[in-house]
Each structure stands twice: as C-alpha cells, then as structure tokens.
Amino acid sequence: MARPDASAREGAETPQDPAGEDPGTSGAPGRAGRELRSRYTAADLGVFTGDEARRFVPRGAGDPHHDVVLAWELLYRIEPELYDRLASVERLHRDVVGWLPHGVDTIAEVGAGTGRLTMELIERGENIVAIEPAQPLRRILRRKLAAADHGDRVRVAAGFFDELPLPDDFAGLVVACSAFTPAPGHGGEAGLAEMERVCAPGGCVALIWPNHVDWLAARGYRYVSFPGPMSVEFASGQEAAELAGIFFPRAAAEVRRRGSRTVPFEVLGINPPRDLAFKVLAG
C-alpha cells in the first residue's frame, strides 16, 4: 500500500517522545531524530499554497501530530531531501515497471514526487509529463532529470489529481505511484475521473502501490501483484536506523538490533511496492 493514507502506515501509532532517539543528520534544527508524526506542528501549515491548503486542510485547520497524511504533505515541502532519501531506497518491484505498456508515445504521471517512477518512464515514452504539486519535490525531480540521459523527454509541471493541466485524450498511459487515494484531497472520484479524461481511448490508467484496492475494483480496476521477497536497501545500517526512527518508529528497535542496511519490508511493517491496479479504456 502506498502513502498517503493513515491506514497504510505505522505512522498511525501514537506520537512518541523523541528524546533519546538517534539525532540523525537529516532534520532541520529541533526536528532531528523526531518521528514523522511529531516533526511538524500546526504552525507549519503556512507552508501550503492556497490551492494546497484547500485540498489538504479543507476545514482551514489541522494538526499533523494527529493527522499523518498532513505530516507527509508537510514533509514534502519542509524537508524534501529527507523524503527523497526514503523514496530512493524504497525501490519498486522490477516487474511492476516491466508490466507497464512499452512504446507509448505520451505518458502522464501524476504525483511524481522526486521521480521514483518518473526516472523509469524515460525509456518507456517519447513525451512524458510529470505532474507534481509540491514545488520542492519538483525542484529535486528537475535536478535528477537534468543529469539523466534523455531527461529532456520529461516535462515537469504543477498540478493536482482533480485538476490536471492536460487536454482530453492526452496520453496512452496515465499513471500514479504511491500518490492516489480515494480521499478528495489526494485524488478521490474527481481525481480518477481526471486521470481517465486525459487517457486516450485504448490507453491505460495505472495506479502503482495502490491504497484501497476494493474501492478501485468497484470502479472497474483490475489488480496485479508480483511475488518474491522485497527489502529496503538503505545506504548503511546507520541510515537504516535513522530513517526507521523517523518513518517506521514501531520497527526502529528491531532495525537497530539487526544493524543491517538491508531490511525486509515486513520488518518495517508495510506492504512492499509490488502491486498495481489498472484499467484499459475502451478504444
């Protein structure tokens, strides 16, 4: 299952006192070592643009200590490099990427983040548009693309699931990875309708590492999952302990005990990124 969804992550647990945790190297002053749920406060909500606030704090107020989805959105804007460190080590099952249609002229990706999937799409399409609402993540993605072979095939643009800045029938593949949920601020009915609107007849809408597979199935999406053991490959045992303390606090003690840079997804307590839901639109 993918973020952002409180039901999908260990972050649903009660915030802990971060005192005594590994101070780490990634946090802004005062945040170092804190788990995601207690890293930010309501005072940080001012980082959102008006369009973001309308979607992520629709009632005008929110508390990231009690709303882990909000904490993720703050992470993307306040500590984007920290998010990128996590996404870079949570690699997709190679068959998920292999499953995606080949030889597609135009691809649209929504919620592209720092490019975990985008970088794989470069070899799959001639023209790729990567839509991402968080400006700090767009900046990191552009940096990666500038250094990549054929990175100029990808155009990075701002946008949201429910208001895609793309014309009807635009792409043969419309895809999102670990980004879409049924919640209106993160996709919902309007977001799914938008993805289908910009998908050409006969094209494919694919949601990788999906949340709420039943919700998608009720809307005509089929499900595929690929087998095999999957682990997160951190750079070192020290990085595993640091990032587990922030993102997988329930598993942090076990990760420290193992001392290994390779940590099976089951130890972290999350489903591995081995699955997708898809719909092929009528031609």
Ligand X SMILES: C[S@@+](CC[C@H](N)C(=O)[O-])C[C@H]1O[C@@H](n2cnc3c(N)ncnc32)[C@H](O)[C@@H]1O
Q: Exactly one of 8, 68, 112, 198 binds ligand X (CB under 6 A); which one?
A: 112
- What phi and psi values does residue 142 have, to the nearest 5 degrees? -60, -40
**Binding status of residue 133 toward ligand X by CB under 6 A:** yes
Q: Which one, of 276, 273, 278, lies nearest residue 205 by Cα?
A: 278
* Closer Cβ to ligand X, 110 or 252, answer by number: 110
Q: Answer yes or no whether residue 31 interacts with ligand X by CB under 6 A.
A: no
Chosen residue from 31, 39, 116, 279 binding ligand X by CB under 6 A: 116
Of 99-107, 121-129, 172-180, 225-233, which segment contacts ligand X by CB under 6 A? 172-180
CB 270 within 8 A of CB 10: yes
Burial class (CB in 10 A: 0-12, 13-18, 19+), 126: exposed
Residues 237-276 that bind ligand X (CB under 6 A): none
Query: Is residue 73 within 8 Å of 56, Cβ to Cβ?
Result: yes
Report residue 98 CA to chain centroid gap. 19
221 part of the interface to ligand X, by CB under 6 A = no
Is 210 an interacting residue with respect to ligand X (CB under 6 A)? no
Q: Of these, 121, 177, 206, 246, which contacts ligand X (CB under 6 A)?
A: 177
Q: Contact positions toward ligand X, by CB under 6 A?
A: 3, 55, 76, 87, 110-113, 116-117, 132-134, 137, 160-161, 177-179, 185-186
